Copies of this chain bind each other. A is one copy, B any other.
Amino acid sequence: MNTRHTSSHNKITAASPSFSELKALLAFSQPLFTLRKKTTLITDGEKFKGLYLVHSGLLKQSQLKKTSENEIITHFFFPGDLIGLDSIFENHYSGSIASIETCGLSLIKFHDIANLPITKESHIQLLRILSKSMRIEHTRLWRTLSQSSDSRLAYFFITMSSKFREQGYSPNSFRLPMSRQEIANYLCMASETVSRIVSRFENEGLLSANGHEYFILNPEGLARIAEKA
């Protein structure tokens, strides 16, 4: 299985927890394919085909608000993440899903949860993954709702940091391929606000940002901001 990330950071450990949890499902995984950057994988309302497992790259799931303006980004998908969990009991996917950078993906093909030819234990296991991911998402939304922009962004960097640590990369030095605008859409704020806060965090010595490369200089300080009202 190819878990190599496109960025050049050091790999510390090998296993992504999500992968190990998915052994049973992976038996049904189709061959890995490549999706080049800024390409749509799934259009809004498309028929459910199965789950996609991300091997490398980054994708976003977004909902276009009817009131023309900017998209709302509901998820970023990193290596080890499953795409489509929120549609597993539906006939169609929700929102459109597109790559931000070139991705390696594989499809775990099934039409319906009831048709997934795995054991009862694996079934329960899948449901636990589903439940866990929903709970994480739920927590994130509540945080976004009830916290200040500073807290949200600090929490975002902490989350990203954890993601990279889990994948075996350095948690304090990483590349985020998404634009400021996309981060803003994910956190439900204006891109100017993201810019301003990042600048402030830099002045306060919390982190350093150079284009899409980020260095966390003071994780404790960020955590403190993320936790306060």
Residues of A near any B CB (own CB < 8 A): 63, 65-67, 69, 72, 74, 86, 88-90, 94, 113-114, 120, 124, 127-128, 131-132, 134-135, 137-138, 141-142, 144-146, 188, 227-229
Contacts and interface: CB of A to CB of B under 8 A. Distances in A.
Contact of A89 (B63, B131, B137, B146): B131
A127 B90 CA distance: 11
A141 to B, nearest CB: 4
A127 B86 contact: no
A74 B142 contact: yes
A26 B72 CA distance: 39
A142 B72 contact: yes
Given A67-B229, A137-B138, 10 more contacts: A65-B229, A72-B142, A88-B131, A94-B135, A113-B127, A114-B120, A141-B141, A141-B142, A145-B145, A145-B188
26 contacts: A63-B142, A65-B229, A66-B227, A67-B229, A69-B229, A72-B142, A72-B146, A74-B142, A86-B135, A86-B138, A89-B131, A90-B131, A90-B135, A94-B135, A113-B124, A113-B127, A114-B124, A127-B127, A137-B138, A138-B138, A141-B141, A141-B142, A144-B145, A145-B145, A145-B188, A146-B188
Count this chain's copies in the assembly.
Answer: 2
B128 A89 contact: yes
A229 B66 CA distance: 9
Contact of A146 (B65, B113, B127, B135): B65
A134 B67 CA distance: 25
A141 B142 CA distance: 8
Nearest to A145: B188
Nearest to A134: B134
Nearest to A74: B142
